[in-house]
Amino acid sequence: MQSPLTLVTGLKRGIALLARVPAVAGDEVLVCDLSMERNLVALVGLLDRGVRVRYFDHHALLREIPKHPGLESTIVDRADVCTCILMDRAVDGAARAWAAMGAYGDNLPRQADELASAIGLDVEQRRALRRLGEAINYNAYGDDERDVLIAPSALYRVLTRWHDPLQVLEHEPVVAELEAARLRDLREASMVAPIWRGPSGSVLALPDKAWARRIVGFLANDLTNREPNLAHAILTPAGQDHWRVSVRAPRAAPGGADALCRQFGGLGRAVAAGIERLSGDKLGHFLDAFAAERWGDGGCVGAGSSRGISAT
């Protein structure tokens, strides 16, 4: 008899998810798209309790991956991959339409097109997968579940009713609802002028509104696609005199976002990174650093690992 599955998920801000996993010796945990850097202590705790962990992620890791027989990790930080692509490789394309959808949502349209074309999807079907991927990604942003249209766990249950993601678009009204909400939020954001703009990029400061917290991820990707030679940073209020910062390197020079954000206590990937809390008195320093950043190819920070051995 198969053991029951327990889902632990949340919004993108809920990075420290492994601490919420109630696993015990003999259990198996699959971790997807979750920074190991932020979850290393909880990961070691699970392994020490006799839990087997399989880990897929594409965020930068500054420390060595634990060497443990219970850990199988695939950590690749490159501008041309996302976690869905890594998992697609691991399962030999068994769910490739879902992988393509995820790549579209992570703003990797070229890679997503390649995945979709490999299983014979036409232009209209690829557009449909992109709509779904972007809708799911949009719904992942907010301070808490009150900001979003549907809780991530509830959206997961909607998606897993269907074998094919194209069936989700055909049968689930929540996708159209998410798309309509995203367009409304995007119109609000389009009325906000940058607080800084220079030859290398622009910086937006959004108001303390739920729509601003929802749209920040999609807006960052949209700006990068429309102005591929520029870097973009989007600020949203994070408590009294603090900002939350999302940074995208230029699509034409995909590197440097993580290095910039680390200067201010942030983390992320070479192409996309963030700062959880930037104090107001450091905003000027951030703008100076953003303007001076030499954007470029981030290269490969991590690489895939074999079972039970650290990824280097």
Position 310 in a domain? no
Do 238 and 209 lie in one domain? The reply is yes
Out of 41, 75, 109, a domain closes at 75
142 and 108 share one domain: yes
Q: Same structural domain for residues 7 and 46?
A: yes
Instruction: Name the nearest CA neighbour of 275 among 284, 288, 262.
Output: 262
* Residue 174 and residue 198 in one domain: no
Query: Is 306 within a domain?
Result: no
- The answer as to whether 149 is a domain residue is yes
28-45 mean pLDDT: 95
Type of residue at 226: R
Q: What CATH number does the domain containing 249 carry? A: 3.10.310.30
Please tell me whether residues 115 and 136 are part of one structural domain. Answer: yes
pTM score, two decimals? Answer: 0.89
Structural domain containing residue 32:
1-75
Whether 304 is covered by a domain: the verdict is no
Mean pLDDT, residues 189-211 taken together = 97
Structure confidence by residue, pLDDT tens digits, 276-296: 999 999 999 999 999 999 998
Q: 106 and 181, same structural domain?
A: yes
Q: What is the pLDDT of residue 1?
A: 47
Under the banding of pLDDT at 50, 70 and 90, the label for residue 268 is confident
Residue 292 structure tokens = 């001076």
Q: What is the mean pLDDT of residues 9-26?
A: 92
* pLDDT of the residue at 61: 79
pLDDT at 298: 44
DSSP assignments along 69-132, one per residue = TTEEEEE---TT--HHHHHHHHTTTTTHHHHHHHHHHTT-HHHHHHHHHHTT--HHHHHHHHHH
pLDDT at 57: 95
Q: Are residues 64 and 126 in the same domain?
A: no
Domain boundary among 186, 206, 234: 186
Residue 299 lies in a domain: no
Residue 278 and residue 244 share a domain = yes
Q: If pLDDT is split at 50, 70 and 90, which confidence band does 18 have? A: very high
| Contacts made by residues 148-153, CB under 8 angstroms, sequence distance 24+ | 148/11, 148/214, 149/174, 149/177, 149/178, 149/181, 150/174, 150/178, 152/9, 152/10, 152/11, 153/7, 153/9
Residue identified by tokens 């490999």 is 118
* Within-domain flag for 208: yes
216 domain-assigned: yes
* Range in 61-65, 166-170, 188-192 with the lowest mean pLDDT: 61-65
- Residues 173, 207, single domain; the answer is no
Of 186, 219, 239, which residue constitutes the final position of a domain? Answer: 186
Cα 235 from Cα 243, distance rounded (Å): 6
81 occurs within a structural domain? no
pLDDT, tens only, 124-178:
999 999 999 999 999 999 999 999 999 999 999 999 999 999 999 999 999 999 9
Is the CB of residue 166 less than 8 Å from the CB of residue 129?
yes
DSSP string, the chain: -PPPP------TT----GGG----TT-EEEEES--HHHHHHHHHHHHHTT-EEEEEE-S---SPPP--TTEEEEE---TT--HHHHHHHHTTTTTHHHHHHHHHHTT-HHHHHHHHHHTT--HHHHHHHHHHHHHHHHTT-SSSTTSSSS-HHHHHHHHTT-SSHHHHHHH-THHHHHHHHHHHHHHHHHTPPPSEEETTEEEEE--SSHHHHHHHHHHHHHHHHHSTTSEEEEEEE-STTEEEEEEE--TTS---HHHHHHTTT-EE-SSEEEEEEEEGGGHHHHHHHHHH--------S--B--TTS---
Q: Are 304 and 297 in contact (CB under 8 A)?
A: no
The answer on 286 and 203 residing in a single domain is yes
Is residue 302 scored above 70 in pLDDT?
no
Asked if 200 and 231 touch (Cβ cutoff 8 Å), the reply is yes
Percent of the chain beyond pLDDT 70? Answer: 94
Q: Do residue 116 and residue 165 come from a single domain?
A: yes
* 228 and 249 together in one domain: yes
Number of domains composing the chain: 3
Whether 251 shows a pLDDT value over 50: the answer reads yes
Q: What is the pLDDT of residues 92-121, one digit of tens each?
A: 999 999 999 999 999 999 999 999 999 999
Nearest one of 299, 278, 300, 301 to 290, comparing CA atoms: 278
pLDDT greater than 50 at residue 274: yes
Confidence (pLDDT) at 297: 53
Is 212 in contact with 188 (CB distance < 8 Å)?
A: yes
Contacts of residue 111, Cβ cutoff 8 Å, sequence gap at least 6: 80, 81, 82, 85, 103
